[in-house]
Amino acid sequence: MISGKHRPTVLTVDQRAIRHNINHEVKRLDDHSELWMVVKANGYGHGATQVARAALEAGATGFCVAVLDEALELRDAGFTQPILVLGITTPEYAPLMAQRNISATVGSTEWLTAAMTYLQTAQLGRLNVHFGLDTGMGRIGFQTPAELRTAVDYLDEHEQQFNFEGIFTHFATADDPDDTYFKTQYQRWEGFMAQLSHRPRYVHVSNSATSLWHAACNGNLIRFGVAGYGLNPSGGAIQPPYELEPAMGLVSQLTFSKYVEAGRSIGYGATYTTSQPEWIGTVPIGYADGYERRLQGFDVLVDGQRCEIVGRICMDQLMIRLPKAYEPGTPVTLIGSDGNQTITMQDVATYCETIHYEIACGFTARVPRVYQN
């Protein structure tokens, strides 16, 4: 998809805010722990390579991604730090991962035996692997200590092909004030770890929520994700130990403004009809840009005032009710602050009855990212 560089709609990304969030978390870690920034999904919509650079400046020492192609993007951009692919990669790409020094997540001995065939044929060096343990997330990973023991034995027998670099799990409810299930998962984790006669270099259980609110469980590596972008993992159910500064804003401008009489309908389906004469403004952003169609009735900011979105949001445009006449080119803030008013990513997510992760990741490539600070 092309980037809409010739219209006024842009996502702003404050790199200073990213550095602030990461730096504060790094300061909370002990001397033997590392922070790897999670830059999957194009850095949660913020831009993977730009976020990665800011993260290194703030003290991150490595990166986590979801798929191999995201890791290759970082390598091709010149990043030499450790990179872990958190998802399961098809075994046939094991030689490529070994060649590019990209660490693989492994959740079964069967994966190792399949990858072994490709590694022996390619002879491109050892593959770094992190064993994923399913302690209750239910996605990927070894489900029992016995399965883990079998896999560790296999690694010990094939040290020329594999390097046991790490072991980890992922908590399903670390952002929940009720920590009952969290404790259940942690007990299962300890049961797995009791099977190991020696630990790998990296032992990690902490995503953003775990590190913020269960730091005692951190191990020696944390996978810092959404909090690095200044978003509260719990949405607001729990307050973080320091102020998170949101990095992403969304701004545009009016492209058209008109005065309409009472009884005129606006947008597809004629779902909004003026009850009195009104000023209606048009903003060049729509659901094809990731601005959700369900945001009809939500507000944007114009001249420090909240203006309701009226009519259905179109693919490329939306309409708002203005308090008075404004000229085309007048700034419109969809996420961010204007005057003493603020619309947060969480506000948008709450209105859409979803989470801010989905909103941030949903903005398409048609919206240019503009990097500040």
Detail the residues annotated as belonging to a binding site for substrate. Answer: 139, 315
Q: Which residues are annotated as a binding site?
A: 139, 315
Residue 228: burial class (beta carbons within 10 Å; 0-12, 13-18, 19+):
buried
Residue for token digits 């550095």? 19
Q: Which residues pair with 64 in a beta bridge?
A: 38, 84
Catalytic site residue 268?
A: yes
Exposure letters 100-109 (e unless 16+ CB within 10 A, then b)? bbbbbbbbbb
Q: How many residues does the chain have?
A: 373
Phi, psi of 41, deg, nearest 5? 55, 45
Helical (H) or strand (E) element with 210: helix 208-213
Q: What's the rounded Cα separation, in Å, for the pair 313 and 321?
A: 13
Catalytic site residue 351?
A: no
Q: What's the rounded Cα separation, in Å, for the pair 372 and 82?
A: 26
Q: What's the rounded Cα separation, in Å, for the pair 209 and 245?
A: 16
Residue 353: burial class (beta carbons within 10 Å; 0-12, 13-18, 19+):
exposed
Q: What's the rounded Cα separation, in Å, for the pair 303 and 14?
A: 22
Q: What's the rounded Cα separation, in Å, for the pair 51 and 177?
A: 30
Q: What does the DSSP assignment read for 287-348?
A: GGGT--GGGTT-EEEETTEEEEEES---SS-EEEEESS---TT-EEEEEEEETTEEE-HHHH
Q: Which of 183, 258, 268, 324 is catalytic?
A: 268
Residue for token digits 């659901």? 287
Q: Which of 5, 40, 324, 351 is catalytic?
A: 40
| C-alpha distances out from residue 314 to 23, 61, 195, 240, 351, Å | 40, 43, 56, 37, 18
Determine contact, residues 137/172, Cβ cutoff 8 Å.
Answer: yes
Residue for token digits 């389906």? 269
Which positions are catalytic? 40, 268
